[in-house]
Amino acid sequence: MAVKHFRELEVWKKAIELVIGCYRHTDLFPAKEQFGLTSQIRRAAVSVSANIAEGQARFHTAEFLYHLSVASGSLAELETLLEISSRLGYLQRRELEQLLAGCSEVGRMLHRLRQALQRKKPAEQGRS
């Protein structure tokens, strides 16, 4: 059965969980980071789930693949920002590991979804 809405995608659901985790942990960052790391982490995390949703809502597989690529880039950005936050002492090691585990899970899911869509793409082109 084909996915009819992005809310049905498990990767989108996991990405939303990651956003919530990032918001909760950055709530504890120093006030001086409100417009720095806090804002960047939140925007990168939101970008992952938002690009999954936007891509799934597009009409062509190639567009979905493009947005999944953007989501993957935002995920790498998020991991980098989390590492920086940890090294600055804003995240405890356990918190960092928890958030990075979420990033890894979403990353694996994005990779599998991209592979599935790439297999589907040649079949779509044959119907054009």
pLDDT in tens, 32-83: 999 999 999 999 999 999 999 999 999 899 999 999 999 999 999 999 999 9
Percentage of residues in the chain with pLDDT exceeding 90?
Answer: 86
Q: Provide the pLDDT for residue 8.
A: 92
Q: What is the CA radius of gyration of the chain?
A: 16
123 band by pLDDT with thresholds 50, 70 and 90:
low
- Asked if 27 and 64 count as a contact pair (C-beta separation under 8 A), the reply is no
Q: pLDDT class for 126, splitting at 50, 70, 90?
A: low
**What local confidence, expressed as pLDDT, does residue 89 receive?**
96
Residue 89: partners with Cβ closer than 8 Å, 6 or more residues away: none
Give pLDDT, residue 1.
Answer: 41
Mean pLDDT to the nearest integer, 92-120: 96
Model confidence at 4, in pLDDT bands (50, 70, 90)? confident
Can you spell out the DSSP letters for 45-103?
HHHHHHHHHHHHHSSSHHHHHHHHHHHHHHHHHHHHHHHHHHHTTSS-HHHHHHHHHHH
